[in-house]
Chain A
Amino acid sequence: MQQIVPPYLLDRIAHAAGPRFPLAAEAARRALLREPPARLGIEPLHDLPSLLPDVPSSPDRRISDAEGRESLPGRLVRREGERATGDDAVDDAYDGLGDTHRMFDRVFGRDSIDGAGMPLEATVHFGDRYDNAFWDGERMVFGDGDGEIFRGFTDSLSVIGHELAHGVTEHTAKLRYQGQSGALNEHVSDAFGALVEQYSLGQDAGAASWLIGEGIFTDQVQGRALRSMLEPGTAYDDDVLGRDPQPGHMRDYIETSDDNGGVHLNSGIPNRAFALAAVELGGFAWEHVGRVWYDVLTSGRLPIDADFDRFAAETVRSARERYGADSGEERAIARGWAAVGIELPAPEA
């Protein structure tokens, strides 16, 4: 279906124009809904029409409540299609899983974590003032935070996307959670977490914050988020927390035995390469760098213990395959890696 108003603009109007221009917003929403769903599995991905955040997907969500204990899964409190419970953690997790499922389904043609519609399960209210969220191999688990530094983990869509992306990595490239391959595992979760947030907001790469975990700190913390993909090391600088320790260049790579070899620290380096390439290309990041990264994850060519150099080389190779040799996409991605100190050998013609 051809439309004279580009879908991203419709999306902006549908989402942002409501208070001032309610009729325009309603019209834009209706126009967006007329877009027919893509016939996934028939057309190759790059032939899909412009993809729209408003087109629903069909997740199978199950949210459980651990009721402050550290036992899983907890009590099932909201299943797919059931009404909001009024518990913000439950309902935010439910909505966030829906947004994440929609991006993977509509953009990458991947139905759920395993690509075969597996249920998306989450447990909220895990533990007592528990300061973390994680993926345990079967479900996403969210603590409530201590209320002093962290105010909970379900507020941030990039965090929910991050956790679910760990599941996708586990079902695809299986990057080993140690050292550089572990930092790549973390990077992939940050990248897709950011894309989920951008997709749900209809936000282009230039307008995006590139922050992970915006809104999970309390007001008492001097900081915007957990991490900045575009400017690693700048997400927070606080009397209690200290300063964001993430490096954004190979010269600052941190060798440590903490945190499985610094997986949450050194992920800043590939994060910055990804964000720089996305910003250089402009437009919607899920439509170019997101596709290339997804190709790499699912290519079967990436070793589980891949280091940064190998991963970078695979992204450039996938960009060539998808967009052609010396395409703008390939060049932007190679420049992104070069900017963080990862120089790739010139590709063979």
Chain B
Amino acid sequence: MKRLIKASNYKLRKNSSIKIGAAATICVVILGFLLFYAALHILTGPMIEAAGGDETDLNAFDDIHLLDCAAIALSLMQVLAIVLAIVITLLISGERKNGVYALMAAKGYTRSQIYADKLYEACLVCLVLYVSYVAAALLIGGILWHGPIETDMVTGFIKIFFLMAFMYMAIAAIYLAVAMNVRNGGAAMAINLLLVLVLSTAVTAIDTGLFDGQIILRKWWIFSAIEQYAYLEITTKEIIISILNILIYGGAGIVAGGAVFAGTELK
């Protein structure tokens, strides 16, 4: 495994899809913030009132605070899920098509080792994109925000940062399971992009049904992170549910994907 990890690290450093994915993610964050900032400077109280809004005394950027910045950054987080799906599918399906797995098998690596290596790569890609996103959001948010940063905000951010990182890795495991086992690269891409949309809706619906909408959209971070970061505080219950989510989704992705891959003849 050490050789595989060493080789994977080298390959990912050279991979242009990851670089383009990270650049696209950062651009989306910057663009999102700039649009938000511009909108706030264009909008006036009477305009909002005319559009049916209540905020008639909005005074440009003075009225927004750090949480709004975080909210707008994270309202774009769906983009990260999509970019992640695209990059992982391109990377994994491309290798299958080129016969990399067959070559690895011919060089003595078992299916489990190959799958574990690809899981490592998917998680690494996920972390690179996620950290790019958060770093850009923090940087731009920091430039725009002039108010005080309190301890609660920082601890809340750290908790959410790690939980989200693991959640995205769980999602990456599901994307990987699809990309490793669907023979046609185009079909794998379509399935993974559909997963982003379908499952986010389905999970939200289940969530609403099970929990009576009390904690709707706040704990189910999978696939759609819209509105998640509108709050930087997080309860213990939410942390536990998040960890359970990570284990269930990530575990299901790894076990199902790995079992199918191990049981299929390489073509």
A and B bind: no
